[in-house]
Amino acid sequence: MFSFMGVGFSGFAANQNYGVCSPSKPGLDDLPENCIASILKYLDPPEICKLAQLNKTFRGASWADFVWESKLPTDHKFLVDKVLHGNPENLPKKEIYARLCRPNSFDHGTKEVWLDKSSGKIFMLISSKALRITGIDDRRYWNYLPTEESRFHTIAYLKKNWWVEILGELEFEFPPGKYSLFFRLQLGKASKRFARRVCNLDQVHGWDIKPVRFQLSTISNGTGDQHAVVLSHGCYLRETGKWIHYQVGDFVVDHDDQNRNTPTKIKFSMDQIDCTHTKGGLCVDSVFICPTEFGERLK
């Protein structure tokens, strides 16, 4: 309904030269700004920004706080305190929304969080440096490598080891919804040669003998009770030379009125600890958390 109205406004503005009309005919500038804002509230952010270009009345209506309050996540105050500096609560809600749609780093630059511009839903990346990797301090087994292929410009690279274990924990106020968690991994070490991407597979071995085990568990709603089902499954790492998102599992955040601002605690891991054979040639970039409907595109 409102999209149709938006189209109608666009056509009307085009015919009337953006609201400049003869004195005998009403134009878009004659509409009350609060009335326009009440309509914009029901549109998606990209549609609001397009309609704001019609004239100054629509532009003013597009800055109404109650319009953007409805687009921000229910936990946006936690998010603002976590990743924005200064005194952002004094900013217009539209400006807060715009800032949260940019990648915002926190925890010493080891994590990033941002909102999807269209839906306002939360996405998060966790760097390999925020994970507990067994043996990471021993350069015989692991190295941190600089790369342009990571948002964090660094990846963890396994040369060779018998015991592979990577653990992560997170406590965050996610808005209600269903989320998916992925490890972003690659078999093989990529580099540039004559301006072309090449991937060295010399050290890739051991991943086709036994599967990697992924695990995910959550504690939420302030009850202190861990979910009855801890997600766990095995997966062989077979594809080489490209980054793959391996799904660990899904989790649901379902706040009631009493626990609306309670953070969700997440524990996740991947391991291959069969010491009968060595494993090597694995690149670990990050952990990715997104709404499940977006995660379907990564599978």
Q: What pLDDT score does 139 carry?
A: 94
**Closest CA relative to residue 150, chosen from 195, 110, 201, 102:** 110
Query: pLDDT, tens digit, for every residue of 18-45?
Result: 444 455 566 666 678 888 999 999 999 9
Q: What pLDDT score does 241 carry?
A: 96
How far, in Å, CA of 24 to CA of 235, rounded?
72
Q: Please, which residues bridge with residue 226 across strands?
A: 219
pTM: 0.84
Q: What pLDDT score does 97 carry?
A: 95
How far, in Å, CA of 188 to CA of 199, rounded?
6
Query: pLDDT, tens digit, for every residue of 133-185?
Result: 999 999 999 999 999 999 999 999 999 999 999 999 999 999 999 999 999 99
What domains are there in the chain, each with its CATH number? 30-102 (no CATH), 108-113+119-298 (2.60.120.260)
The mean pLDDT value of the chain amounts to 86
How far, in Å, CA of 221 to CA of 10, rounded?
45
Which residue in this structure is represented by tokens 């109404």?
A: 64
Mean pLDDT of 206-224: 83
